């Protein structure tokens, strides 16, 4: 009864594995091959549709036994007790060609394999399974193992230095247990290939590695180039800031000197401007004295001019030119009248009178011209003094503005000079920071980006190409080349 239950459990597990491997396939799309093998997994009969076949199987399943660390033949194992290790090895016997990184590569055609081994509780204890699991159903137990023959080689699982130890694609399984009076009712194994529908579908995603890698490289190149330019710019900024700081020191010294000179100039011109009133008053007094003297001189001849019918008007700086012209004209007119009167006199008397009259008129005319020249000099002096005092006043006002502006400039330059020291120090820190950023970006590029793009161009590309190849390498079938899936069910005999 117990033996029948164990056998039923094995059959049930094989059915579950078979159904999982051929899900959603119609009966005419499946091919089932039954294999009877000895206790070491060597095929003895291959049965398809009730008929024996002798075509080679596309895989091997082997069982090896070790008792207490020593390999033992199945026939010698019956009735023995100790620590038993059963190793199951799966291997694909088929190869195919696929494109990997632009080259044609020969690789195994991957298969899927699972084994169910009943575990009698009166025989097995302390069971451990690698690449599998122990299943308990009531009083019945079984070890379920699995393997992926050919997949590890097809994916080159051990060929990636940085991925070693991160994932495994097992092609074997081990069952270890303490056994007493050993006996076995055999095992059931299911082997199948990748269904054609899955192979046709390919990977469930697409990834343009050339684009991703190229964009990453371009972006990093732009980033490092920008960092180089920025670092160069901050270096020039630091040099310029240092020169500018030195220049502001010199500018501050010059602004201070300008402020001092402008203040001195303003003070000197202000002093001159304050003396302008005294100069103007003195000039007015001098002008009044000169005019008084001139008018007194003319007054001495007032009777003579009156006799000639000429009215005397005091001379001023404003009217002296017009008045002297009037007096000279009056003298000429009087002389002409005298000439007419003397035409009736005796010749000797006329000649004497002409000489006397000519001398008097000439002297009067010269005196008037001398007065004109003196008054013209006084006028020029007064005009020059007025221009001088006006210029001094204007210069004093301008110098005051210059002094005020120079003071503001001096104050502003001192502020700038103080700020430029801080700017120069900040430029030094900025340049140092940019140097660190440039160094960090270079290290990031070398240690991360270049390594990542190396993975994308190397390991990742190979993994994706091999994954596509695995899905494309569909097993065509044992006898039916058009079968979407072929299931091999192997019964290994008991011991």
Sequence spans of domains, the chain = 2-194+473-492, 222-317+369-452
CA distance 19 to 24: 9
Q: Tell me what the mean pLDDT of segment 368-389 comes to.
A: 83
**Is the pLDDT at 277 greater than 60, yes or no?**
yes
State mean pLDDT over 206-212. Answer: 56
Per-residue confidence (pLDDT) for residue 123, from 0 to 100: 95
Chain-centroid distance of CA 319 in Å reads 86
Confidence class for position 208, pLDDT limits 50, 70, 90: low
> Model-level pTM?
0.50
Q: Is the pLDDT of residue 62 over 90?
A: yes
What tokens were used for 80? 């023995």
Mean pLDDT across 314-320: 86
Q: Is the pLDDT of residue 365 over 70?
A: yes
- pLDDT grade, residue 481 (50/70/90)? confident
Alpha helices in 88-208 (DSSP H): 151-154, 196-201
- Confidence class for position 337, pLDDT limits 50, 70, 90: low
Which comes out higher in pLDDT, residue 10 or 217?
Answer: 217
Contact predicate 112/193, CB 8 Å? yes
Which residue(s) pair with 112 in the sheet? Answer: 192
**Assigned token pair, 153:** 């080689």
Long-range Cβ contacts of 272-278 (<8 Å, 24+ apart): 272/392, 272/396, 273/389, 273/392, 273/393, 273/395, 273/396, 276/388, 276/389, 276/392, 276/393
Alpha-carbon separation of residue 251 from 292, 405, 407, 425, 427 (angstroms): 60, 15, 13, 19, 20
Residues 6+ away with beta carbon under 8 Å from 167: 157
pLDDT of 156 reads 85
Banded pLDDT at 9 (limits 50, 70, 90): very low
Average pLDDT of the segment spanning 425-453: 71
Q: Decide if pLDDT at 290 tops 70.
A: yes
Phi/psi of residue 110, each to 5°?
-70, 150
CA–CA distance, 192 with 112 (Å, rounded to integer):
5
Confidence at 453, pLDDT banded by 50, 70, 90? low
pLDDT for the residue 89: 97
Statement: residue 468 has pLDDT above 50: yes
Domain topology for 222-317+369-452: Helix Hairpins (1.10.287)
Tokens of 130: 């690698």
């Amino acid at each position: 009864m117990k033996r029948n239950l164990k056998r039923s459990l094995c059959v049930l597990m094989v059915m579950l594995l078979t159904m999982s491997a051929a899900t959603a396939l119609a009966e005419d799309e499946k091919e089932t091959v039954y294999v009877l093998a000895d206790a070491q997994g060597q095929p003895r009969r291959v049965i398809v549709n009730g008929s024996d076949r002798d075509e080679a199987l596309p895989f091997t399943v082997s069982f090896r036994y070790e008792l207490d660390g020593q390999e033992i033949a199945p026939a010698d194992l019956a009735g023995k007790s100790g620590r038993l290790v059963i190793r199951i090895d799966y291997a694909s016997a088929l190869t195919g060609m696929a494109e990997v990184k632009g080259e044609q590569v020969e690789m195994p055609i991957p298969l899927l394999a699972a084994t169910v081994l009943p575990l009698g509780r009166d025989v097995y204890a302390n069971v451990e399974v690698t690449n599998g699991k122990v299943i308990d159903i009531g009083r019945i137990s079984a070890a379920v193992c699995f393997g992926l023959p050919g997949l590890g080689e097809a994916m080159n699982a051990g060929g990636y230095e940085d991925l070693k130890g991160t994932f495994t694609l097992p092609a074997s399984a081990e069952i270890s247990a303490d056994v007493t009076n050993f006996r076995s009712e055999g095992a059931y194994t299911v082997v199948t290939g990748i269904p054609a529908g899955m192979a046709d579908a390919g990977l469930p995603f697409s990834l343009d590695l050339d684009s991703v890698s190229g964009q990453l490289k371009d972006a990093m190149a732009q980033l490092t180039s920008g960092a180089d330019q920025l670092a160069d710019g901050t270096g020039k900024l630091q040099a310029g800031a240092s020169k500018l700081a030195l220049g502001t020191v010199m500018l501050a010294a010059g602004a201070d000197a300008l402020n001092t000179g402008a203040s001195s100039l303003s003070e000197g011109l202000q002093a001159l401007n304050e003396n302008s009133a005294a100069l103007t008053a003195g000039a007015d007094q001098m002008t009044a004295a000169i005019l008084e003297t001139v008018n007194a001189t003319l007054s001495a001849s007032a009777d003579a001019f009156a006799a000639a019918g000429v009215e005397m008007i005091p001379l001023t700086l404003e009217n002296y030119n017009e008045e002297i012209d009037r007096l000279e004209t009056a003298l000429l007119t009087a002389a002409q009248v005298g000439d007419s009167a003397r035409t009736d006199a005796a010749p000797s008397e006329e000649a004497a009178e002409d000489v006397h009259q000519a001398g008097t008129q000439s002297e009067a005319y010269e005196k008037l011209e001398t007065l004109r020249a003196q008054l013209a000099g006084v006028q020029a002096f007064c005009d020059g003094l007025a221009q001088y005092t006006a210029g001094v006043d204007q210069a004093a006002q301008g110098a005051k503005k210059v002094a005020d502006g120079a003071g503001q400039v001096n104050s502003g330059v001192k502020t700038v000079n103080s700020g430029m020291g801080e700017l120069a120090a900040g430029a030094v820190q900025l340049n140092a920071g940019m140097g660190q950023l440039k160094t960090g970006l270079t290290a990031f590029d070398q240690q991360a980006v270049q390594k990542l793009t190396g993975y994308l161009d190397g390991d990742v590309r190979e993994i994706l190409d091999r994954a596509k190849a695995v899905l494309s390498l569909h097993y065509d079938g044992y006898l039916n080349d058009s079968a979407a899936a072929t299931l091999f069910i192997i019964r290994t005999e008991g011991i």
